[in-house]
Amino acid sequence: MIYKRSFLVLVLCCCSALMSAQDGYDLWLQYDKIDDDKVVENYLDHISGFHKFGSDETLDVATTELKTAFEGLVGQTLKELNSVEENSVVLGSEENLPSEIRAMLKSDLSEINSEGYVLKSLSLNNNRITVVTGKTDVGVLYGTFRLIKEMQLHNNITQCDIIDSPKIQKRLLNHWDNLDRTVERGYAGFSIWDWHHLPELIKPEYIDYARANASIGINGTVLTNVNASSLVLTSHYIEKVKALAEVFRPYGLQVYLTARFSSPMESGDLKTADPLDPEVRQWWKDKADEIYAEIPDFGGFLVKANSEGQPGPNNYDRSHVDGANMLAEAVAPHSGIVMWRAFVYSEDDPEDRAKQAYSEFVPFDGQFHDNVLVQVKNGPIDFQPREPFHPMFGAMPDTPLMMEFQITQEYLGFSSHLVYLPEMFEETLDEDTYVQGEGSTVAKVVDGTLSNKKLTGIAGVANIGTAKNWTGHPFGQANWYGFGRLAWDPYLDSEAIAKEWLKMTFSNEQEFVDPVKDLMIKSREAVVNYMTPLGLHHIMDTGHHYGPGPWVDDLGRPEWNPVYYHRATSEGVGFDRTESGSDALSQYAEPIREKYNSIETTPEKYLLWFHHVPWDYKMENGQTLWYNLAAKYQEGVEDVEEMVNTWNDIEEYVDDQRFEEIQMLLQIQLKEAKWWRNAVLLYFQQFSGKELPEFIPEPEYDLEYYQSLEFPYAPGISPSWH
Ligand code: GCV
């Protein structure tokens, strides 16, 4: 008897250990049983089974997901019904629905686009039903995920009346994954693409990756690094890409590849890659035909050309237009697209790096073929914790511009720091370019409404790897999720996105959601404060970009050195981009130009981005720049202290595994926020010649110590095994 009881205790302990262990693999698609009986009752009262119209594999994926979710969330099997009955969920695309249902939804269906959905409660022959439909089966899949989300959020589904469509056409992840499975700027392990075992071995991760993307409406994935290898264009690899494309197809996820411009010479045997050479043009056409013969819905190519050492048309005195249009012609017969990156700056060009992409691309406005998108990073430098929007947005009305955000945290503390990026994405999307008067927001450029563009796109550089939880930091998942949501609708509110992600990923309890949502929203300003406040930028240590390195001044190219960006002297600090300096401001429209041209009217968050400011300059609060700079760094540390406290207070709502992991990661973040504060202030103190204000605690180490720190094995850079 005693033996039996202790055995039972042991079993229960094991079960509860299992229940409280959550490795985060399920992302926001957690279908744990809802513990609120009333909510469960509501769902059981309104859903007794499903009936589908159509036989597409996408529809199968939708119904399988619905069954899995329903069984998990309410704890009962969802039956497939032979006909439409009371309380059935009816799934099918418009053309497959019975005419009576179609007639009832006519006006709703007229409002959606080809990927949109209608989720509606109806009465059919006195039966209450919930219809999930769209113009296509992919629309039905998106609608199914919406119905599941309604349940995950514990919303009432008695009177569903939801109509939604994506506002941007091409919603892509960009993987900077190499064929050897290293990931450039990847902080979540190795690449999830197991090229060596493809095409035969299809890992469950591939399916779950596609499910996760479909659940947020991401419809394309560029599998390979923009610093590309031409090997991926060989038939050996095309076979592997095809295997992935087949897994992703039912989920509405198209595959794309990066095209190395010199491929005709490297994977072909041509002597040149000149885009005007007939043989080169033919080589790309043949290559496109070969790919499309295997993958009929292949999306197209993403190209980094003549940037950071990558080959491109400039090598042959040809322009970006020549290069992009040649590839565009190759994929056009197959309805493919080319995403040509505008991230260019030259070591030979003494012009301010922030100006170079605009100078090089804007004169080409209107010259790219219709199936070319120019892909522009959110800001004019490189994915900093804060940048003003890229001046190219709005400046090329006759060219579709695609937004490129970075989800992986190259300059924002890797996967060690909790930083909620949708807040930052939203800031950029909401910025007013004024190019067609007030209200000409970046979002309107990207969704094409400002200049009536047919082809639109948005890309996020993925933060995904082989880490069990996909993203390294558990909150990195929110950045993947939030990117997808904003790609679907760039006008969404990042706070609302944070709330839904928290509820789906952790808990619906308001006592949990409210404080942690606040923590997420504040986390972005926190990282700006402790890394690069008041418009400072690119002062991270070079190469790996981890930790502070404002002192670095010895790299081959001037614009690779942080000193290039902060320009600290005994007079002051900051980059003068006004008329008296590099005049990068002239690339923006009025009234931005005039407003930012003066220190007094420049928003403080961009102060040192646009101005070289004296240390003694009196800012809005009456204190000097030096004082305010120190105050911002201190504020950043205190912000993280608050994040630590908030997290400690919500322990009861989170499983042990994720709670403890996040708790430990926040301690790293706090330690590193202090590191940033101490190192940067000690460094700038040499120029300001001023005492640290009394609210700054005595730095733990001297400047020499901070300067001596090295991280040769930091993740995300080429490994140096030797
Ligand atoms: C893929 C930055 C990164 C590089 C990246 C480059 C780009 O410079 O540090 O790793 O290369 O941006 O976006 O092409």
DSSP code string of 283-347: HHHHHHHHHHHH-TT--EEEE--SSTT---GGGGT--HHHHHHHHHHHHGGGT-EEEEE-----T
Cα 454 to middle of ligand 1, angstroms: 29
Q: Which of 183, 258, 382 to mutate to test the pocket of ligand 1 (most atoms within 8 A of CB)?
A: 382
Active site residue 382: yes
Choosing from 308, 489, 518, 638, the catalytic residue is 308
Q: Residues 230, 186: contact at Cβ < 8 Å?
A: no
> Which residue's C-alpha comes closest to atom 11 of ligand 1?
227
Residue 719: predicted pLDDT: 63
- Closest atom, ligand 1, to C-alpha of 461: 13
Ligand 1 atom 8, closest CA:
382
Give pLDDT < 50 ranges for the chain: 1-20, 722
What does the alpha-carbon distance between residue 59 and residue 273 come to, in Å, rounded to a whole number? 44
Q: Tell me the pLDDT of the chain averaged across its residues.
A: 95
> Is 411 near ligand 1, meaning CB less than 6 Å away?
no
Distance 304 CA to ligand 1 centre (A): 10
pLDDT of residue 692: 98
Q: Which DSSP category does 220 fall into?
A: E
User: 577 and 613 in contact (C-beta within 8 Å)?
Assistant: no
pLDDT tens, residue by residue, 180-226:
999 999 999 999 999 999 999 999 999 999 999 999 999 999 999 99
185 within ligand 1 shell (Cβ under 6 A): yes
Question: CA nearest 522: which of 399, 640, 367, 360?
Answer: 640
State residue 348's pLDDT score: 80
| pLDDT for res 606 | 98
Question: What CA–CA distances, in Å, run from 266 to 263, 303, 323, 451, 482?
Answer: 5, 16, 17, 39, 38
**What does the pLDDT read at residue 346?**
82
Is 620 an active-site residue?
no
Nearest CA to ligand 1 atom 13: 343
Q: Which helix (H) or strand (E) holds 458?
A: strand 457-461
Closest to 411 in 3D by CA, of 610, 547, 555:
547
Among 185, 153, 197, 212, CA closest to 470: 212
User: According to the model, what pLDDT value does residue 556 have?
Assistant: 83
Comparing C-alpha atoms, which of 674, 410, 678 is closest to residue 544? Answer: 410
pLDDT at 7: 38
Q: Which atom of ligand 1 is nearest to the CA of 404?
A: 13
Q: At what angle do helices 510-531 and 656-688 cross, to 10 degrees?
A: 30
Q: What is the pTM assigned to this prediction?
A: 0.96
Q: Which of 185, 187, 387 to mutate to test the pocket of ligand 1 (most atoms within 8 A of CB)?
A: 185
- Torsional class of 181: left (φ above 0), alpha (ψ -120 to 50), beta (otherwise): left
User: Is the CB of 517 inside a 6 Å radius of any atom of ligand 1?
Assistant: no
Please work out whether the CB of residue 559 comes within 6 Å of at least one atom of ligand 1. no
